[in-house]
Amino acid sequence: MDIYGPFQPALNQLLTNLQSQIKALSQAEVTAGRPKLYEHLIGRVKAQQSMIEKCRRKGYPVTTEGALRDCKDAVGLRIVCNFIDDIYRCLKLIKANPAWQIVKEKDYITNAKPNGYRSYHVILAVTTPFKDVDGNQPGKYYAEIQLRTIAMDSWASLEHEMKYKHNVQDAERIGRELKKCAEQLAACDIQMQTIRQLINQN
């Protein structure tokens, strides 16, 4: 099933445009004599099968409309920062950018998920020159941005690997250890931020 139908090229172009805009924000910071915004910028259009599975899991129609109107993360960016402060600096610039509107945000850094997951999520609504799933042109498309530190991203990758491994022995214990690790990494992020501030004061 081709769940994106004729909208796949628009999604690909939106991803390219968003990556360019985020890179430009970071370059502007560097040009102004400030630290770069992030260490890594990763983007993707969600794989067709993954989108089909998400629609089913969420109870959305397994249709192009469900994928592009109900699910709002067909296009996704992950911004991996060195420090917690960089996340909020990046977030401030994203919010101030007139190229899009923020329609939803979730702060899992201040309020971590029960399993220990930390990240900051924002959903953008972007007006594009392309026709959208509702027939509008210019059309509205959605994209999700996740902002994390390197430590948060490493933890999330490990947790994701465990979640998708079948027949894991002693999953409850692994979950407890992962949560403990998440808390230790969060403390490390705060320590690193403090060290950076001390260095900058000198």
User: Residue range 57-73: average pLDDT?
Assistant: 96
- Domain assignment of residue 191, yes or no: no
Measured distance between the N- and C-terminal CA atoms of the chain, rounded to whole angstroms: 59
Does the pLDDT at position 173 exceed 90?
no
The answer to whether 133 and 71 have CB atoms below 8 angstroms apart is no
User: Residue range 14-40: average pLDDT?
Assistant: 96
Q: Which domain holds residue 76?
A: 5-155
- Domain assignment of residue 46, yes or no: yes
Residue 182 CB coordination number (10 Å): 22
Distance CA 145, CA 37 (A): 14
Q: What is the pLDDT of residue 72?
A: 96
- Domain assignment of residue 44, yes or no: yes
Q: Is 116 exposed, middle or buried (0-12, 13-18, 19+ CB in 10 A)?
A: buried
Q: What is the pLDDT of residue 165?
A: 65
Query: CATH number, domain at 100?
Result: 3.30.460.10
**Domain tally, the chain:** 1
- Domain assignment of residue 72, yes or no: yes
User: Residue range 111-118: average pLDDT?
Assistant: 94
- Domain assignment of residue 193, yes or no: no
- Domain assignment of residue 139, yes or no: yes
- Domain assignment of residue 171, yes or no: no
| CA distances in angstroms from 156 to 24, 110, 161, 181, listed in the order given | 27, 16, 9, 11
- Domain assignment of residue 167, yes or no: no
